[in-house]
Amino acid sequence: MRDVAIVGVGMRKWGEMWEQSLRDLFVDSALAAIDDAGVDHVDSMYIGCMSGGLFAGQEHLSSLLADYLGQAPIPATRVESACASGGMALRSGLLEVASGASDIVLVGGVEKMNDVSGDQATYALATASDQEWEAFNGVTFPGLYAMMAVAHMHQYGTTPEQLAAVAVKNHFNGSMNPLAQFPQKITVETVLNSVLVADPLHILDCSPITDGAAALILVPADQAAKFGNGKPAARIAGFGSATDSIGLHDRKNLAALDAVARAAQAAYKMAGKTPADIDLCEVHDCFTISEIMAIEALGFVEQGQGGKAAVSGETAIGGRIPVNASGGLKSKGHPVGATGVAQAVEVVEQLRGACGPRQVEGAKVGLTQNMGGSGGSAVVHILEVI
Query: Would you list the domain boundaries of the chain?
Result: 4-117+209-230, 127-208+236-385
Phi (first) and psi of residue 137, to 5 degrees: -90, 10
> What percent of the chain stands above pLDDT 70?
100
SS3 assignment, position 45: strand
Half-sphere exposure of 89 (CA within 13 A, CB side): 38
Catalytic annotation present for 206: no
Q: Please write the tens of the pLDDT for every residue from 243-258.
A: 999 999 999 999 999 9
- CA dist., res. 230 & res. 77, Å (int): 30
Q: Please write the tens of the pLDDT for every residue from 355-385.
A: 999 999 999 999 999 999 999 999 999 999 9
Q: What is the mean pLDDT of residues 255-264?
A: 98
Q: What amino acid occupies position 206?
A: C
CA-based nearest residue to 285, from 245, 264, 315: 315
Q: Please write the tens of the pLDDT for every residue from 8-38.
A: 999 999 999 999 999 999 999 999 999 999 9
Q: Please write the tens of the pLDDT for every residue from 288-328.
A: 999 999 999 999 999 999 999 999 999 999 999 999 999 99
Point out the catalytic residue in the list 152, 202, 284, 334.
334
SS3 assignment, position 134: coil
Point out the catalytic residue in the list 83, 206, 286, 355.
83
Tell me if 108 sits within 8 A of 364, measured CB to CB: no
CATH class label, 4-117+209-230: alpha beta
- CA dist., res. 54 & res. 47, Å (int): 16
Q: What amino acid occupies position 354?
A: A
Average pLDDT, the chain: 98
Which CATH number applies to 127-208+236-385? Answer: 3.40.47.10
Catalytic annotation present for 49: no
Phi (first) and psi of residue 349, to 5 degrees: -65, -40
Looking at the chain, the number of H-run helices and the number of E-run strands are 13, 11
Whether residue 200 has a cis bond before it, omega within 30° of 0: yes
Phi (first) and psi of residue 169, to 5 degrees: -60, -45
Q: Please write the tens of the pLDDT for every residue from 167-220.
A: 999 999 999 999 999 999 999 999 999 999 999 999 999 999 999 999 999 999
Say if 4-117+209-230 and 127-208+236-385 have the same CATH topology: yes
Q: Please write the tens of the pLDDT for every residue from 68-116.
A: 999 999 999 999 999 999 999 999 999 999 999 999 999 999 999 999 9
